C-alpha cells in the first residue's frame, strides 16, 4: 500500500510539477531574509522520471518540519527561486512521500521556508503536495 500511495502522490505531482506561485522575475538570494542558508534543506535527486523522461525526480526528506516551502537552485552562498515552485507539509504528515518533477537543468535543489523569501510569503500559494 505504501508503494501505491507514493506512486499516487508522484503521479499527482507529475501533473502539476509542483505548486506554483505567481510568475514574477527571478528572485535571487539577495532578496531572501538573512540567515536563509541555515534554513535551506537539501532535496535528493533520484534521477530521470519513469513517468516522464524529460523530468528529474527530487525526493523531499521526511525530516522536514511542517510548513510552506519554495524550491531554490543553490550555488554556494547564492540561490535563485525555481520558477516559484513550492509545496506544503501539514502537521500529521509523518508518513508522507513527496517527489517533485523538475527540468533536468537543476542540479542542486533545496527547499527553503517561504518566510525566508519575503516577496513570496504573502502571495497566493497552491499546494501540490496533497
> Would you say the pTM of this structure is higher than 0.85?
no
Q: What is the average per-residue pLDDT within 49-73?
A: 92
What pLDDT was estimated at residue 94? 64
What region does 15 belong to: left with phi over 0, alpha with psi -120 to 50, or beta?
alpha
Residue 126 has a pLDDT of 53
Better pLDDT: 14 or 24: 24
> Of residues 20 and 11, which shows the higher confidence score?
20
Q: How far is CA 16 from the centre of its chain?
A: 12
Question: Where does 63-124 have alpha helices with state H?
Answer: 118-121
Amino acid at each position: 500500500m505504501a508503494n501505491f500511495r507514493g506512486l499516487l502522490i508522484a503521479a499527482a505531482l507529475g501533473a502539476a510539477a509542483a505548486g506554483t506561485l505567481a510568475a514574477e522575475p527571478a528572485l535571487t538570494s539577495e532578496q531572501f531574509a538573512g540567515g536563509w542558508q541555515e534554513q535551506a534543506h537539501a532535496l535528493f535527486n533520484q534521477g530521470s522520471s519513469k513517468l516522464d523522461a524529460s523530468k528529474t525526480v527530487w525526493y523531499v526528506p521526511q525530516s522536514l518540519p511542517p510548513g510552506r516551502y519554495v524550491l531554490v537552485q543553490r550555488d554556494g552562498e547564492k540561490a535563485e527561486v525555481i520558477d516559484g515552485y513550492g509545496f506544503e507539509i501539514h502537521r500529521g504528515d509523518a508518513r508522507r512521500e513527496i517527489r517533485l518533477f523538475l527540468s533536468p537543468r537543476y542540479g542542486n535543489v533545496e527547499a527553503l521556508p517561504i518566510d525566508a523569501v519575503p516577496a513570496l510569503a504573502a502571495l497566493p500559494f497552491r499546494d501540490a503536495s496533497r
